[in-house]
Amino acid sequence: MVHEYRDRIYIRKDILLKLYEYGEINQSRLMTICGLNNSKHKEILDDMTSKNLITRKNEAWGNKTIIKYSVSEKGRQILKELLEPYEELFPRKESGKVE
């Protein structure tokens, strides 16, 4: 069986892009849509939170607590700096701007 290896920088990019696309997402859904393992890759979310690239919010849900993540202002700025030049070269839509 062949296992693909994704470099940590691409995992971080995927996380930022998915959070930007979906807005606020709970941890298990974020890990699922990024194709990550919750226990193996949780440290990446912790690192991104400590570097203020994403924000973490605990939300009460019945007798449980749900962890939700979203892109921080710093994360948005990084996406804007990286994606705007790319969008200008390879536009998907008319404006090509990350807001």
C-alpha span between 16 and 83 (Å, rounded): 11
Range of the domain at 29: 8-89
C-alpha span between 52 and 60 (Å, rounded): 23
Give domain status of residue 95, yes or no.
Answer: no
Give domain status of residue 2, yes or no.
Answer: no
* Consecutive H or E run containing 85: helix 73-89
Give domain status of residue 81, yes or no.
Answer: yes
What pairs with residue 14 in β-bridges? none
Give domain status of residue 46, yes or no.
Answer: yes
Give domain status of residue 75, yes or no.
Answer: yes
Backbone angles phi, psi at 88, to 5 degrees: -65, -35
Instruction: Supply the CATH number for residue 48's domain.
Output: 1.10.10.10
What DSSP string runs through 18-48? HHHHHSSEEHHHHHHHTT--HHHHHHHHHHH
For the cut 50, the answer to whether the pLDDT of residue 3 exceeds it is no
Give domain status of residue 80, yes or no.
Answer: yes
Give domain status of residue 83, yes or no.
Answer: yes
**Number of domains the chain contains:** 1
Q: pLDDT of 81-98, one tens digit each?
A: 888 887 788 776 655 455
Q: pLDDT of 15-42, one tens digit each?
A: 999 999 999 999 999 999 999 988 889 9
> pTM here?
0.77
